Amino acid sequence: MERRQVPRDVIVVPRWVQLVGLPLLVIGAWAVANAAGRVLLLFVVAAVVALILNPLVRLFQRARLPRGVAIAVVYLAFVALLAGVIALLANPVAGQVESFRQSVPNYVRSAERGLTEAQDWLDQRGIKVNLSRGGESALSRLERDLTSRSGELVTFTRDLVQRVIEGLFSLVLVIVISIYMLIYGPRFAGQVRRLLPAAEPGDRERDLPARIEHSVARYIGGQLAFSTIMGASAALMLWLLGFLGVFSAGRDYAVFFGVFFGVMELLPFIGPVLGAIPPIVVALLESPLSAVWVGLAFVALQQLEGHVVAPNVFGRALRINPLLVIFALLFGGHLYGITGALVALPVAAMLRELAAYARDNMVFEPWPAATTKAAGEPLVELGERDHDANRHENDDQHLHHEPEAGEPHERSVRHRA
């Protein structure tokens, strides 16, 4: 016996919603986003943080901890982990920074000698370019200009302090908002599930909140793995350059440069460039040829990043077309700068899951199609036309039906009636 297949529940979008509701929803969302400004950014960042930490909160809840206590444990564990990482890296990084600070005078003297040699080379060939003027080198003039512009430096420092304070205040707000989102998250997810078609237990494809949370977790895991791989690769590359004698400071500061490069990889687009600047500047103080070799090494590393590491890591994590990734990064950076670019990919991953869920679980109520007729005749819908055709066909069959023996002739009865 053939088993009857139960139809799958889907969301049917009525025609009036397609015509009026969806356009108004898009326009209203855009207006609210423009009016909210930085407030919307804070809530988006907090939502991403809450989605990242929610699996850990559920893990502690399985140990029979109340949800509020589990949230507190997760945040305390996160702070402790961050402090542990900083303490683990503090000694080697601080040692390398101190060694670099002590080596700065040697780098400056080396650069002074390079400028003098370059000036002699230009003078011998009659090229009238003054790298040093009146016994004062270009570096000395730079130092004098910086000293004379100490007032501008004070203004810059004051603006920097103000921005740091604003950033810390925003960080506190993000933490507070994310805590509230974690507290009320299950209630909100339950309301969303009640509005949507029911999903079987364990069916993540039809569970929209679970799909969104999983997409953000995939992105964060991929981004952390990508930054770790690139930071370790940069440190190993600089250590090899130092070991080969191409960039002597690379072996001493490999850990510091590698950590900095890995952190900068968290920033889309400009991260690899910013991460390569410090080692190139230090190599330039050693010699221009060393800077050229270090720059070429970072170009090769970025090619490896773009063609090998990134496709394998993010290809499994995001499941988003590369063009959409680039658009999301540019759009987020245009709206909210670096912070917008940071949250652009998690938001894009969530929107992708929303679109995939709508594609699989939502249908639009079809609009009635119409067919054209001759001038002066009314238009008839396709459904009505098919119905009339079936009716005429049934009438013809009825008129041409020959009654069998013993069957009363219906037309005769009707005629006598």
**Which pLDDT score, from 0 to 100, does residue 383 have?**
45
Q: What are the structure tokens assigned to 344, written together?
A: 């652009």
pLDDT in the model for residue 71 = 92
Hey, is 149 helix, strand or coil?
coil
* Side chain identity at residue 75, one-letter code: Y
pLDDT in tens, the chain (417 residues): 444 444 457 777 788 877 888 888 888 888 887 777 788 888 988 998 899 899 889 999 988 889 999 999 999 988 888 788 777 766 666 666 666 667 667 766 776 677 777 777 777 777 766 665 544 455 555 555 555 555 565 676 777 777 778 888 888 899 999 999 999 988 998 888 888 877 777 677 778 888 888 888 888 888 888 899 999 999 999 999 988 888 888 888 888 889 889 888 887 777 888 889 989 988 887 788 888 899 999 999 988 887 778 777 776 777 777 777 778 878 888 888 878 888 888 888 888 888 888 888 888 878 876 555 555 555 444 444 444 445 444 544 444 444 544 444 444 444 444
The reported pLDDT for the residue numbered 180 is: 92
Return the structure tokens found at 139.
Answer: 């570096």
Partners of residue 132 on adjacent β-strands: 137
Q: CA-CA distance, 170 to 174, in Å (whole number)?
A: 6
Is-above-0.85 flag for pTM?
Answer: no
**Which tokens sit at 4?**
């009857």
DSSP character at residue 376:
T
Burial of 398 by CB count in 10 Å (0-12 exposed, 13-18 middle, 19+ buried)? exposed
β-bridge mates for residue 260, sequence order: none
Report pLDDT for 249.
83
Residue 370 to residue 391: CA distance in whole angstroms: 19
Q: Which residues contact 186 (CB under 8 A, 6 or more apart)?
A: 67
Tokens matching residue 155: 């203004």
Amino acid at position 17, single letter: V
CA distance linking residue 233 with residue 276, whole number of Å: 12
Q: How far apart are CA 316 and CA 301, in angstroms?
A: 21
Contacts of 298 (CB under 8 A, 6+ apart): 234, 272, 276, 279, 280
How do the domains of the chain map onto residue ranges?
34-128+158-193, 209-389
d(CA 351, CA 319): 12
Half-sphere exposure in the Cβ direction for 168 (13 Å, CA)? 6
| H helix and E strand count, the chain | 15, 6
pLDDT at 373: 53
d(CA 182, CA 203): 23
Type and span of the H or E element at 34: helix 22-36
Identify residue 362 by its one-letter amino acid code.
Answer: M
CA angle, residues 290, 296, 299, in degrees to nearest 5: 145
